[in-house]
A and B are shown apart, each in its own frame.
Chain A
Amino acid sequence: MPAVITANLPVFLIILPLIAAFILPTIARRQRLQENLLLVVGSLGLLGAGYLVYLVMHGGISSVYQMGGWPAPWGIELQVDNLASFFLLVVALIILPVFLYSRRNMAEEVGSREKVARFYVLILLLIGALAGMALTNDLFNVYVLVEVATISCVGLVSSRNHPLSAEAAFRYLILATFGSALILGGIGFIYIITGHLNMGFAAQELVQVWQYRPHVVWMALIFLLAGFGIKAALFPLHLWLPDAHSIAPTPASALLSGLAVKGYLICLFKFFYRVAVPFLLQELAIDKIMKWAGLLGIVLASLMAIRQDELKRRLAFSTVAQIGYLFLGASLMNTRGLSGTFFYLASHAVIKSALFLSAGMMISVTGKKKVSQLAGIGKKMPVTTAVFTIASLGLVGVPLFSGFVGKWYLLLGALDSGDFLSALVIIAGSVLCAAYLFPVVRLAYFEPAEIKEAQDPGIPQKLALVFLAVLVVLLGVMPGIVLELANRAALDLLTP
């Protein structure tokens, strides 16, 4: 590889989707061309992210990328480290199947063929923002990227051709804007007391000054937790999520539940571990809040999920519960817990995308939205149902599927902190998860068929589903590289 490409790879990964987003409207009438372009973007992104992971793991790239060649604190930096390459890889692994799935499949869901281009532009903007969130090392850039992501998410929710989509999107918009305001406030507080926007410099300053202004720091961290908590659907700030994620068009649901909420989480982790230090969080009892919100989320959101009869809503509540695991893992403040959190994040991204895509396919083919109406679908749509089943096993955390590895490390992390209650809740969450996912599988395979005519989708959609299912198994059987990256990312954050 020429050195120019290698050196500029990080920024290329941000710009690639953004450029594509600008090109797309110019070819709005040529759907075939648009979709081919998307596949090219997805493949290039996956290649680029994979190569970046390789470079980072083998020390082949400088860990700081200076935008325009200006050094900090004047210029803007990208931090090219394990965490960034890890999240970029996760993003790239999800968007490729999502693009494949959308191929020649979107017109019905968004209303008309003209609106499809708009939908794709929003997806590309969201991806650009997520890539930026992974790499950014600048406080204000975080805010900008969060806003870009939020607006695209709201747009995606509203793009569904559904009477309730405007209401869901509007509710989401109001709450998310409130969240943005809180985030901006938090960033402002940090800037006021440290005088820096670069995370590294702000961190150095913060360690010195926090004891003179503990309340300001506390407010800043609380604002950030609440702001990102709203966007990442931390229990009990999740109220917007079930409507928004269940009403959005299926590929958008997969992206929103699988990736978008995690982008905000990655930003939050950067604030908490890179700007602040674990010691500070414990001193200000922020970790307790995270832990209890996580524990309550796991149990209560799962219980709510059991009561949902609408399949996509059930999956949406499940996302809230699984986000609880991530907050719980992050609150443990030890390496195994945090690396488990990161691995679980990747695992959940893949699993939830697979669940939403396969569930969405069942719903759009049969026209039945409710779990109880899907009896016997396993025989009509064998591939789709098999993918749903594999993903369910993964989310429950059965060995040889990806969720197991994540839960194993989360449990080890909980025991490292001597936190027995969390360990039990992690397991209780698994059982509850089985209680809301397995009935779907049971109905699909073991009940007399109610659905008369339905068949598996076309080849691109099938490919997308199978790709995700294979990932669920691969991550469980050979967690190798992803686990190693997660581990290194956790070590980076915990050892300043």
Chain B
Amino acid sequence: MTSLILALMSALIGVLLILFIPGENKKLRNSMVFLSVLLAMAFSWRVGLMIFAGKSIGLEIELGRFVWSLRPDPLGAVFGLIASTLWLFTAVYSFGFMGNKERQHTFYAFFLLALCVTLGVAFAGNLVTLYLFYEFLSFATYPLVIHERTPEAMRAGKKYILYSLSGAGLLLVAIVLTYHQAGNLAFGARPILEGLSGPGLNWLLLLFVLGFGVKAAVMPLHHWLPSAMVAPTPVSALLHAVAVVYSGAYGILRVVYSVFGRELAGELVFSKIFLYFIVFTILAGIIVAIRQDHLKRRLAYQTISHLSYILLGAFTLTPWGLAGAVFHMISYSTLKITLFFCAGIISELTGESSISRIKGIGQRLPATMVLFVIGTLGMIGILPLNTFWGKYYLMKGSVAGGMWPLALVLIISGILNGVCFIPFIIKAFSRERTQPAGKRGFREYALFIPPLFLTITAVIMGLWPGMVWPAVQAVVEWFF
């Protein structure tokens, strides 16, 4: 229980400390940021390991008539672990990326606040607490989106906050409706709405899916995500490929398994209709990605496509499907963040961000491009990378649920992922413009080491998928 509070508090205290550090003292500030993210990660790992070992930890506070509760179950613990671990890598990357840029204090303060809130989303023990953190996640990340303060960034920020608040509003209606029907909002071993039935539940599911679907960027609710790519690369990498969008996907997993329960969700017509939207998003997302010239926007549309993999796994309602969803959450995040990191390195060191103009980049930044290639192979889902296993379980789940066309969709999507980036890679390695790489300093190392580590992790995880299996198994056993 102490670790649970400490995980959130260490990020929050980091925010307060940063505000008191004078602006010029960068070293002290960066080490504070690193320390608080490290502590938050350590404590969430402790929480996670205890949860996977089968212990139940948490705390509830009743204030007024609202119960605020932090009580992670295995699914929440997995999300918390992914977020806090990747936060550490992103922190190191940011030290390199932000270099001498402006407004770093604001950046790091909200960077840490977003970590605290994301852990809150992951560890929330009931729907109101989840809503609380989900809403605050929008506020904590808004200043990061508009960090550049250009008119374009302000427009993107406006779009982002408008989409998020509208989604949160629908979510609130859904939560109140759930409370009205069930009189209880706590996530437990049994689903909240168990024992209820009726066509009205379809509409409730629709409200929930619309509410969380905004952040999970399900088409047609995805428009904010490509616009939000004006944010600095560490933000795009962490928040808009992993933390924020995962909180939406996580929310939908919660709704399907903790609020409705898989039996009830299976009976609802809407959960079948929603599968069409998911399939559409998987395919359309990657097809639109192919047509993007801006590297980060291309990656963003790819994210939209891949997020729906997770939702697809959730809606197959089979143990293998859920395992695939959780596995994909873990493995996809390591490689997608690598791709974003590489894109950031390219744009920082060469000043180019559109795909058509970075011919010959492979000569100039060979190591970065190698990592990029590995990341791309991961998006396709090829052995020995960890994303293969996620996709494999997802296909297994689809077939087990009697929905074999879904497996086909996943294969087509894998091919399209190849189409999306392989031409770019070939172009990048073609000999057109060769310049020697500059000298390497702290900045270059800080930029390069996080993606390197993540790629190595991805390969190891792909070779020995058993190492994450206890976590995946714990989630599946919890819900089945």
Interface residues of A, Cβ cutoff 8 Å to B? 396, 398-400, 405, 407-408, 411-412, 415-416, 423-424, 427-428, 430-431, 434-435, 438, 442, 446-448, 477-480, 483
Contacts and interface: CB of A to CB of B under 8 A. Distances in A.
Contacts of A430: 165, 169, 172
Contacts of A405: 64, 66
Contacts of A416: 180
B64 A423 contact: no
A448 B151 CA distance: 12
B170 A477 contact: no
Nearest to A433: B165
B101 to A, nearest CB: 16
Interface residues of B, number: 26
B135 A398 contact: yes
Contact of A483 (B65, B136, B146, B165): B65
Contacts of B135: 398-399
Interface string B167-178: 001101100110
A427 B162 contact: no
Contacts of A448: 149
A405 B63 CA distance: 11
B391 to A, nearest CB: 37
Given A423-B176, A446-B143, A478 B64 contact: yes
A399 B131 CA distance: 8
B236 to A, nearest CB: 19
B132 interface: yes
From B64, B131, B135, B170, residue with most partner A Cβ within 10 Å:
B64
B23 to A, nearest CB: 13
B132 A399 contact: yes
A464 to B, nearest CB: 25
Contacts of A423: 173, 176-177
B371 to A, nearest CB: 34
Contacts of B157: 442
Nearest to B64: A479
A405 B157 CA distance: 28
B173 A427 contact: yes
B206 interface: no
A421 to B, nearest CB: 11
A438 B176 contact: no
- Grouping DSSP codes into helix (H, G, I), strand (E, B) and loop, the A interface class, with mixed when no group exceeds half, is helix
B169 A431 contact: yes
Nearest to A343: B64
B128 A412 contact: no
B165 A431 contact: yes
B179 interface: yes
A434 B128 CA distance: 20
A438 B162 CA distance: 11
Interface string B58-91: 0000011110000000000000000000000000
B170 A427 contact: yes
Interface string B127-145: 0100110011001000100
Given A399-B128, A424-B173, A446 B165 contact: no
B166 interface: yes
B161 interface: yes
Interface of B: 63-66, 128, 131-132, 135-136, 139, 143, 146, 149, 157, 161-162, 165-166, 169-170, 172-173, 176-177, 179-180
A434 B66 CA distance: 24
B172 A427 contact: yes
B172 A411 contact: yes
B432 to A, nearest CB: 41
Contacts of B166: 431
A448 B150 CA distance: 11
Nearest to A477: B63
Given A398-B135, A399-B135, A408-B176, A428 B169 contact: yes
26 contacts: A398-B135, A399-B131, A399-B132, A399-B135, A405-B64, A405-B66, A412-B176, A412-B179, A415-B176, A415-B180, A423-B177, A424-B173, A428-B169, A430-B172, A431-B162, A431-B165, A431-B169, A435-B162, A446-B143, A446-B149, A447-B149, A479-B64, A480-B63, A480-B64, A483-B64, A483-B65
A202 B162 CA distance: 50
Closest 9 CB pairs of A and B: A479-B64, A427-B169, A399-B132, A411-B176, A415-B180, A431-B165, A434-B165, A478-B63, A431-B169
Contacts of B173: 411, 423-424, 427
Given A431-B165, A479-B64, A412 B180 contact: yes
A423 B176 CA distance: 10
A447 B103 CA distance: 12
A292 to B, nearest CB: 20
Given A430-B172, A448-B149, A478-B64, 18 more contacts: A398-B135, A398-B136, A399-B131, A400-B132, A408-B66, A411-B173, A412-B176, A415-B176, A415-B180, A416-B180, A423-B173, A427-B169, A431-B162, A435-B162, A442-B157, A477-B63, A478-B63, A479-B63
A480 B62 CA distance: 10
A442 B143 CA distance: 9
A28 B157 CA distance: 53
Given A427-B170, A483-B65, A434 B176 contact: no
Contacts of B177: 415, 423
Nearest to A481: B64
Contacts of B132: 399-400
Contacts of B63: 477-480
Contacts of A408: 66, 176
Contacts of B180: 412, 415-416
Contacts of B136: 398
A431 to B, nearest CB: 5
From B65, B132, B179, residue with most partner A Cβ within 10 Å:
B65
A431 B63 CA distance: 26
B18 to A, nearest CB: 16
Contacts of B64: 405, 477-480, 483
From B66, B131, B143, residue with most partner A Cβ within 10 Å:
B66
Contacts of B128: 399
Nearest to B167: A431
A411 B66 CA distance: 15
A479 B139 CA distance: 23
Contacts of B65: 479, 483
From A408, A448, A477, residue with most partner B Cβ within 10 Å:
A408
A430 B176 CA distance: 15
A428 B135 CA distance: 15
A333 to B, nearest CB: 17
A336 to B, nearest CB: 9
A396 B170 CA distance: 14
Contacts of A478: 63-64
A446 B102 CA distance: 13
A446 B151 CA distance: 12
A483 B63 CA distance: 11
B336 to A, nearest CB: 28
B131 A434 contact: no
Contacts of A424: 173
From A396, A398, A447, A483, residue with most partner B Cβ within 10 Å:
A398
Contacts of A411: 172-173, 176
A136 B165 CA distance: 42
A90 to B, nearest CB: 17
Contacts of B176: 408, 411-412, 415, 423
A442 B157 CA distance: 10
A479 B172 CA distance: 19
Contacts of B131: 399
A400 B162 CA distance: 21
Contacts of A447: 149
A405 B128 CA distance: 11
Nearest to A393: B139
A332 to B, nearest CB: 13
Contacts of A434: 161, 165
B150 to A, nearest CB: 12
Nearest to A482: B64
A37 B131 CA distance: 46
